[in-house]
Structure 1
C-alpha cells in the first residue's frame, strides 16, 4: 500500500523456525461458545475467564519476538513483515520482496479480495485462541486451592470473545475494555491492577521504515500523520494506536464519533443486506475482474439476469473493511492492511466476522466455496492461482505435514467452539435464524421497499485507504460536507487499494439510501403510472422522477479528509435499484422486485 518498496516491509525482521517444533493448530476436545465482549467482562459469571484472558494475552506479548508463539509473530502472519512464518513458504512460488511486490502480489499470508477470505481467518483465530487457552490452563493451575477448581474450569471453557460492532450498543462507542490503560483482575497472587493488554501492543522491533521528518512517532509532540500512500512507521518500543494526534495518543472521541455514524449507515444496513445473499461468491468478498469475470458461476442454474436484476448487496468483506477504517483512522494501525494485525482489537473484530460467517452458514447451509481465481496472491500463492475448498490455508498446520483447508473448517463445532445464536438455532428451520438476524440488524423502521446505490470501483486508481461517501439530493456535497448531514446515506470503504493492483481489479459495493430518503421526505413508493402521469400532458409528476445524475452525489474522501474526484478514486459506474427486502423467499440476484433507476458513468 505505498509508492516505494521501502514503505511496505522491513527486510531485517526475518522470522525463525520455532525451536519447540512446528506450530500445529489443533481443535479442542470440548465444545464451548465464544462470547460477546460485553458479557465476557461485564458478567460476574465469566469473570474468571476474563482474568485468564488478560493474563494470557500478556504472556504471549512478553515472549521473545522470534518465538513463533509470540503475539508479534502471530500478528505478523496477516501482513508485515512479509517474511516466513514457521518455515512455511510458497516453495517454487516463494514471495520475492522485490519482483512480486512490484507485480502487485500481496505479501501477507491473509486472503483478501478472494473467496477464501472468511475461511482463511478461521484457523488464524483458532491459532491465537488456542495459544491463549494453553496459557490460561497453566495460569489456572497456579491459583490457591480455594480458587483453583473455578479457574481450571474457566480455562477449559475459555474461548476468544468477539465485539459485535453491528449491535446498536456500538453507536455509543468502542467498549471501555479496549480504552482503559489499567484494569483490575484477580491473579494467582490476589487482586492486582495491571496494564491492559487489550488497549494496545508495544512493538518489539521496528515495523515498516522511517518516513520524512515529522511523520514518525519519534517526532512527537509535532507528529504529523504520514502521507496515505505509505504505511506509518512504528519504531520498537511504541504502541499500536487508534486515531493518533500530534502527541501520538489515541483520540477516542474521533473513533466514537465515527462509530456513531457508521453503525446506523454502514454496519447495520450492510449486515441486513448480507443476510439476504445466498450465493457464497457474492457473500464472501468484494473482488471482481473487468466485466464481472469472477461472477461467471454465480448464476449457474438460472437464466441470465437482466440489468435490473443485478443488485450487489454488501459482502462480508466489504462491511468488515469499514470497521478497520472507522477504528484505526489516519495513522492508526487498524486502518492499514499491512499493520492491522498488531492491534489486539483486530482479533476481537475478526472473531465477530467469523461469528457472522457462522450465522450466515446457518441461514444458507448448502452454500459453499466454488472454484475461482485468486486475484491478489499471498505470501505463498501466486497471482491468479485457482483456489477452492481444498486449497491449503497456509501457514496453519493441521499436522506436521498437512495444512488446514476450508473443507476442514466448515463445521465450527468440530473445531471445538460455537456461538450462542448458532447453537440456539442449530436444529431449526434456517428461515427462523434469518428472521432473527434481520430483526436484530434491522437498520431502521423502513424495511419494506429499500433503495440502494450500487458502486463499481476500480481498485488501484487511488493509493491508500479511503471511503466513497454517498449523498442524495445535495448537488454541492463535497469532502467538507459533514457525515451528520441528513443528506448523507453511507459509504463504501476501500481498505485494500494500491497503485500496483493488477488486471484492473474491481470492487463492487452498495449503500442503502432508504433512511436518508425518508429523512428528506423523498418518494419511496413504487411508481404508479395511473397516479404519476398527467393524463393531459403525458408527463411524469416531479415526485415520480428519480434522476441518478442529479440526485446521487458521490464524494470520495481520503482518511485525512481530502476530497478526490470520483474518476480519480476509481468510481466507474453508479446505479440505483429498489428491492423488497421482506418478501417471502426473495431471490435478489436474479429477480428485481422494484425498479431500476438507471446509472451514470465516470
Structure 2
C-alpha cells in the first residue's frame, strides 16, 4: 500500500510527533546558539513550514513496483497466452485509465510526469515549466526505470481492485492470475511469429472481449488509445490534431482517427533496420553510458553512431507520424503504446548491462531547464531521480539504486540468470542478421523487403549517420533514406530540393475500414514512404510541441543512424554490387543513395535550411562468429567522404556549455554527499539478492 493511503488518524498522530520534535530541536538550537535570531513570528513561520513539509512528505507515493516478489516481464504475445492473466491485465488497465485525474496514481497523472500538463507530481516540486523526463541526457535510461516501476505498481493495485470486484467464489481464480502479473513489453525489432503481423492485433483492435463479474463483455481496448473525455483538460495547454481528446497514431482526417494499419505496415519494413541497429550496438560493446543516450557530446570519444535512445526516438516518430501523440515528447506518455515500447527499451538496457557489466551512467550536464533540474547542473549515477521516492522519509532513488531491476520485483526472460551468455544467445537469435524472406509486409500492399543475411568474412556494416538539433522544430522531424529511385509522389529527391511536398499520399487502409488519403495539416503531403521498394529506413529527431530546448539557447545535438547493410546485401545478391567493402560501396552509394527531411505536417525541408544538421556515410569491418555464445566484433566506423550527400560537408564539433562529454568532472549536487558505498540489492520482501561497491 502506498504511503498516502494510510489511515488519517495515524498520520495525524505521526505528524504531531514529528512537528513537536522539530520544534523542540529548534528551541534547543536557539537556546544554545542563536537566542536573538528567532522571534515568535519567525518560530511560527518555521512551525508552519515544517508542518507543510511533513504533510507533503507523509503523503508522497513510495515507488515499489509490484509487491509480490520476483517475476518476469513478458513480451505482450507471451502474456496473452495466459488467458486469465491477460484478462486481468486488460481490466486493470481499463480501471487504471478511468481513475479520477486528481489521483496521483491515476493514468492521467502518471502519464503527465513525462511532460504535459507541466505540473508537479506528488508534491515533488517544480523548478521550471516542463516535464521530468531527461531525454538526451546521461540518466535517460536509468530515470525511466522507476518511472516504469510506478506505472507497474499502479497496474498491479488496479488489478487487486479488479480481483476484489469478482464474487468471492471466483476470487481464488483471479488471485492466482494476479500472482506475478507484470507489465508486458512489445519487441518491435524481433521477427513476429509466422502468420502474425508486425504489431499484435491486441494493440490495434479498438475493442476487446473480456470476462467481468457479469460475464463476457466487450470494452474499449485500453491498449488502443487513452481518452481524456469529451475534451482535452485546459491544464494540458496543447494537444496534437487541434487538441483531439483521444490519443492518435499516424492520424488521418475526415474524420480524425488513428491509422493503425499504416503503422503496422511500416513497422513490418522498419523492423529490419531496428533489428540491425540493436545487433550492432550489442556487438559494439561500448560503455553503457554511451549506448544509452542519443546526446552527441558523449559520443565524441567513440566511433559508433548509434544508441538505444536513438532507436527509441524512431519508434516514437514512426508511431506518431506527423501529428500523432507519440511524435511529441510532451504528450507521448498518454498513448498506451508508449509503455509497451519503453518497457522494451528498459529490457534492452538491462540486457546490455550484462554485456558491459563494469560500466554505467557517465557524468554529464543537464542540457535544458527541467521540472526538477536547472540547465548546467551536473548529474551522475548518484543524482536523485526526481520525482520517485524510495521510502516514507522522502528519499529519492538514484541511478545506482535502480541498477538492478529486481529492486522493483521484476526481470526479463533474457536476464533471469544474470548471465552474459544467456543475453548473447538471445541477441543472436532475435536480432542477428538473417531471417525468413517476407514477400509482403504483413499483408499490406507493399514491396518485398530483404531481411539481410548473416555476416561473412570481409563484410562491412554501413550506416547513414545523422546529427541534428533535437528541438529544431515544433514537433518531430524524420530523415527518410532511399537506395535507388525515390518514390514518384510529385517531389524531387533531396539532391535537387524543391521545398514543400505537394503530392498526395497513396491510399492506405485506415483502421476503421474507410478509405483515406493520409493527408494532414494544411494540405502538405503525409506520404507513407515505407511502402516503396527503394526505401531503406528512417531516423527521427524526437521533439516537443514547441521548438527550442526550454530556456536554454544552445542546440541539443543528438545522433543516430539509418542502417544500409541489409539493402546493400540485397544489391550484392542481385549482382548489382561486387561486395560490401567500402571500395565498392562508396561509389555505389554516391550514385544511388538519397534522403528526404520531413517535418511537422508533412513539410519537406532542404537540408541546408535545417540548422545543425549533418549526415555522413560510415562503415566498419565486421569480424563474424559462428558461435551462438559470441557476438561478432564491430571495428571502428570510418567515414566514406566520397559518398557525397547534401549536408555531408566535414564539420568540427565544438562542445557547448551544456553538452555532455565523457570526461565531465562529476560535481556533487547541492546538499548531496557521495562516498564509496556497498549497495545490497534486496527484493520487496527484504530478501538479499546480491551486492556491489559503487561511489567515489
- Residue 264 of structure 2 corresponds to 256
- Residue 294 of structure 2 corresponds to 286
- Residue 4 of structure 1 corresponds to none
How far apart, in 2, do the equivalents of 1:26 and 1:377 lie?
28
Residue 357 of structure 2 is aligned to residue 362 of structure 1? no
Shift of 1:147: 3.2
How far apart, in 2, do the equivalents of 1:525 and 1:321 lie?
28
Residue 569 of structure 2 is aligned to residue 510 of structure 1? no
How far apart, in 2, do the equivalents of 1:198 and 1:472 lie?
35
| Number of equivalenced pairs | 515
Q: More displaced, 165-174 or 391-400?
A: 165-174
**What are the superposed Cα offsets for residues 264-288 of structure 1, whole Å, 9 maximum, x if unpaired?**
23x2112112212331232111112
Residue 621 of structure 2 is aligned to residue 575 of structure 1? no
Q: More displaced, 452-461 or 72-81?
A: 452-461
- Residue 95 of structure 2 corresponds to 59
Cα distance, 1:595–1:132 mapped onto 2, change above 3 Å: closer
| Secondary structure of residue in 2 paired with 1:174 | coil
CA contact under 8 A between 1:514 and 1:524: conserved in structure 2? Answer: no
CA contact under 8 A between 2:415 and 2:422: conserved in structure 1? Answer: no
Cα distance, 1:130–1:593 mapped onto 2, change above 3 Å: closer
Shift of 1:566: 1.6
Aligned pairs (5 A) from 1:333-372: 333-372=325-364
Q: More displaced, 355-364 or 134-143?
A: 134-143
Residue 521 of structure 2 is aligned to residue 466 of structure 1? no
Alignment equivalent of 1:564, drawn from 599, 605, 625: 605
**What are the superposed Cα offsets for residues 177-230 of structure 1, whole Å, 9 maximum, x if unpaired?**
12223322222333332332222111146257999xxxx9xxxxxxxxxxxxx8
TM-score relative to the length of structure 2: 0.68
Alignment equivalent of 1:182, drawn from 200, 207, 218: 207
Residue 184 of structure 2 is aligned to residue 161 of structure 1? yes
Cα distance, 1:273–1:70 mapped onto 2, change above 3 Å: same
How far apart, in 2, do the equivalents of 1:321 and 1:157 lie?
30
**What are the superposed Cα offsets for residues 236-257 of structure 1, whole Å, 9 maximum, x if unpaired?**
xx32222222212222222122
| Secondary structure of residue in 2 paired with 1:131 | helix
Aligned pairs (5 A) from 1:96-495: 97=129, 107-169=130-192, 172-204=197-229, 206-207=232-233, 231-234=240-243, 238-246=245-253, 247-265=255-273, 267-278=274-285, 279-288=287-296, 292=297, 294-295=298-299, 298=301, 310-312=303-305, 314-400=306-392, 401-423=394-416, 425-427=417-419, 430-431=420-421, 433-443=423-433, 444-448=452-456, 449=459, 450-472=461-483, 474=485, 477-478=493-494, 482-495=529-542
**What are the superposed Cα offsets for residues 419-457 of structure 1, whole Å, 9 maximum, x if unpaired?**
11211x534xx2452243033112421424222222222
CA contact under 8 A between 2:624 and 2:633: conserved in structure 1? Answer: no
CA contact under 8 A between 2:619 and 2:637: conserved in structure 1? Answer: no
What are structure 1's unaligned runs of at least 5 residues?
A: 1-16, 98-106, 217-229, 300-309, 529-542
Alignment equivalent of 2:581, drawn from 526, 532, 535: 526
- Residue 3 of structure 1 corresponds to none
Which structure has the larger Rg over C-alpha atoms? 2
How far apart, in 2, do the equivalents of 1:163 and 1:19 lie?
36
Alignment equivalent of 1:25, drawn from 53, 63, 70: 63
Shift of 1:471: 2.4
CA contact under 8 A between 1:113 and 1:286: conserved in structure 2? Answer: yes
Cα distance, 1:547–1:377 mapped onto 2, change above 3 Å: farther
CA contact under 8 A between 1:324 and 1:495: conserved in structure 2? Answer: yes
- Residue 636 of structure 2 corresponds to 592
Shift of 1:82: 0.6
Cα distance, 1:492–1:581 mapped onto 2, change above 3 Å: farther
Shift of 1:342: 0.9
CA contact under 8 A between 1:241 and 1:333: conserved in structure 2? Answer: yes
**What are the superposed Cα offsets for residues 446-475 of structure 1, whole Å, 9 maximum, x if unpaired?**
424222222222334444211112223559
Cα distance, 1:182–1:295 mapped onto 2, change above 3 Å: closer
Cα distance, 1:593–1:349 mapped onto 2, change above 3 Å: closer
| Secondary structure of residue in 2 paired with 1:546 | helix
Cα distance, 1:438–1:384 mapped onto 2, change above 3 Å: farther
What are structure 2's unaligned runs of at least 5 residues?
A: 1-54, 434-451, 487-491, 495-500, 504-526, 650-696
Shift of 1:74: 0.8
Shift of 1:110: 0.8
How far apart, in 2, do the equivalents of 1:20 and 1:189 lie?
39
Shift of 1:549: 5.1
- Residue 72 of structure 1 corresponds to 108
CA contact under 8 A between 2:117 and 2:236: conserved in structure 1? Answer: no
CA contact under 8 A between 1:579 and 1:592: conserved in structure 2? Answer: yes
**What are the superposed Cα offsets for residues 15-39 of structure 1, whole Å, 9 maximum, x if unpaired?**
xx99992111124351111111112
How far apart, in 2, do the equivalents of 1:161 and 1:524 lie?
41
- Residue 686 of structure 2 corresponds to none
- Residue 77 of structure 2 corresponds to 38
- Residue 52 of structure 2 corresponds to none
| Secondary structure of residue in 2 paired with 1:567 | helix
Shift of 1:53: 1.5
